[in-house]
Each structure stands twice: as structure tokens, then as C-alpha cells.
Amino acid sequence: MARRENTQVAFNDELMTLVNEVADRVDRWTGQAMWSFDPGSPASAEVANAEVRLDGSPWGERPVRTAYQYAQMETKLAVELSRCSALLIGAARPAPGIEAVTRASLEAGSVAWWLLAEGLTARQRVCRMQLLRRNSAREYARSIEEVGEDPGLAGKETVAAIEAECRDLGLAAFTRKGDEFERQNRLGYTARVKALTDELGYQGAYGIYSGVAHAELAGVWRLFGQTAATVPGREPIYGPVANPEASFAAADGALKSMMGPAERIALLFGWPVPGRAEEVSATIDYMNSEMKRRRP
């Protein structure tokens, strides 16, 4: 029994260490000192766009750079949530807590991943950012109203202010109740995460984790496992237990929530080889090999 427990502790510690190691790398790549793109990169072409505002003046770099900053913040959030998942994995907690936090990490990563999609023009990328901002402002306004607070708490992040900013940029009006903007369609939370996880080979996890987060019966059952104790009739007794397979899967999800956006940042910013792009690629290979070696 002691040997089994020691093996389990080592397994959890290794997973925690791997997630934290990758988190440290992504955190460094998205730090202000390294947040730059190379001449000739897709990002350099986007910031040099020829878009004009309603008054005929050029956009300049700021709208596009703001979209990049949005993705940077979401990636940072994925890193922070992944570190929280790592703590729970290292502590050998049961599946639900780990999975609920990993679900949030995947949602953050999916925002950056969608915002930094390849093949977008500067205008399309800015439209995606504005779709996200408008939806956030709408949800925030509802929360402010529900608690009876002053709408001014939202500052400049209101639906009206964002729509006015978009008009000033020379963009068309939002359609489909704010979910479509110049042929860019805002994906719902589930569809956006599914797009990320399907491409990265992590199918099905978000649905399972959502069941946990929403306290569905299937999610509640993930807290329990058969314990060693039995009742006199030898029927099994179930109680909260750690689940190594679930911890492994959650670690995989946390890693993908960070490295999915990181890979797109590298492609967009044109990081040179040898250099950051090579480091990103090497990290993906390292992460995959380590997860293969640790599979329970």
C-alpha cells in the first residue's frame, strides 16, 4: 500500500511540474519584454494596414495592436488557471475541482486561439475583438443591473460606447443581436472551445467538464469512487476519491489551453528560427513526449 501511495504521489508531482514548467514558458513568451513581432511577419502587415476611419483618417496601429493585447491577456489568464489546476493535481484532489478549473483555462485559451486565427485581415481581426468586447459589455451590464448598481461602473466598456467606437473606425453595424459583425460570427462558449479542442485532439473533454461545472449528475459522479470499506452485505461504499486518469486528462487540457494560443502567436508574430518559434515547437514536442511517458 505504501509503495502504491508513493507511486501515486510521484505521478501527481510529475504532472504538476510539467504543467507549471510549460506555464512558466508561456508566461515568459507573453511578457512585455518579448511581446513583439518581426518585420515581414503577418502581424507587421496587419499593423501597417490601409484602413481608414469614418472621418477619412488612417486607423494606424492601435486597433490591431489592441486585438493582440486582448489575446495576450487571455493567454495570461489560461496560464494562471493552468497553475491553479496544477496545484489541485499535485494535491491529488478528486476530479471535479481539477476539471472545473481546467474548463475555465480552456475557455480563456479558446478566446486567444480564435482571436489569433490565421488568414485574417487587420479589419477582420479587429471585428472579432469588437464582437468579444460587445458581448462582454452586454453581460456586464446585466450583472450591474441585477445588483442595482450605477451603470457608470462599466466605464467605457458599454455596448453603446463600443458601437460608437466601431462607427468611428468606419465599420458596419452589428447584426444578429450583436453576434455578427462584417461577416465575422462570434462563436458561443461551447462552440469556441470545441473548435480549439477538436483541432488539438482533445475531443469530448469540454462537455464532460461542463457537466461538472453545472453540477449535472454525470459530473457529480466524477467526485466518487469505490472505497475499501464495504457494508455487511458486501455492497460497495462510494466516497470522494482521486482519479489518476482524470488528473492526467486535465493536465493535458491545461497544457493545450496554453500551447494552442502560443503556437498561433508564434505564427502571427513570425518569431525567427532559431529563437522563440523554435522554442515553442520544442516545447510542444517535449510536452507531448512527457505526456505519452506519463499516461496511466
Q: pLDDT tens digits for 61-114? A: 999 999 999 999 999 999 999 999 999 999 999 999 999 999 999 999 999 999
- Average pLDDT, integer, range 24-41: 93
Q: Tell me if the bond preceding 236 is cis, omega within 30° of 0.
A: no
The domain segmentation of the chain, as residue ranges, is 2-211+242-294
C-beta of residue 71 within 8 angstroms of C-beta of residue 115 = yes
C-beta of residue 122 within 8 angstroms of C-beta of residue 171 = no
Rounded CA separation 259/18 (Å): 13
CA angle at residue 89 from 85 to 90, to 5 degrees?
A: 115
Cell of 47: 499593423
Rounded CA separation 217/179 (Å): 32
* DSSP state, residue 176: G
Q: pLDDT tens digits for 161-172? A: 999 999 999 999
- Average pLDDT, integer, range 191-215: 94
The alpha helices in the chain, defined as continuous H runs, are 2-29, 42-47, 62-90, 95-115, 122-146, 159-168, 189-199, 205-213, 217-220, 244-269, 276-294
Rounded CA separation 257/179 (Å): 24
Kindly report whether the global pTM for this prediction surpasses the value 0.75: yes
Alpha-carbon distances of 143 from 138, 146, 147, 151, rounded to whole Å = 9, 5, 6, 10
Please give the backbone phi and psi of residue 133, each rounded to the nearest 5 degrees, phi first. -65, -45
Q: Are strands 180-181 and 236-240 parallel, antiparallel or unpaired?
A: unpaired
* Residue 231 β-bridge partners: none
Question: Is residue 149 over pLDDT 50?
Answer: yes
Confidence of residue 231 (pLDDT cuts 50, 70, 90): low
Alpha-carbon distances of 144 from 67, 136, 140, rounded to whole Å = 25, 12, 6
Rounded CA separation 98/117 (Å): 28
Please give the backbone phi and psi of residue 203, each rounded to the nearest 5 degrees, phi first. -65, 145
Residue type, position 244, single letter:
P
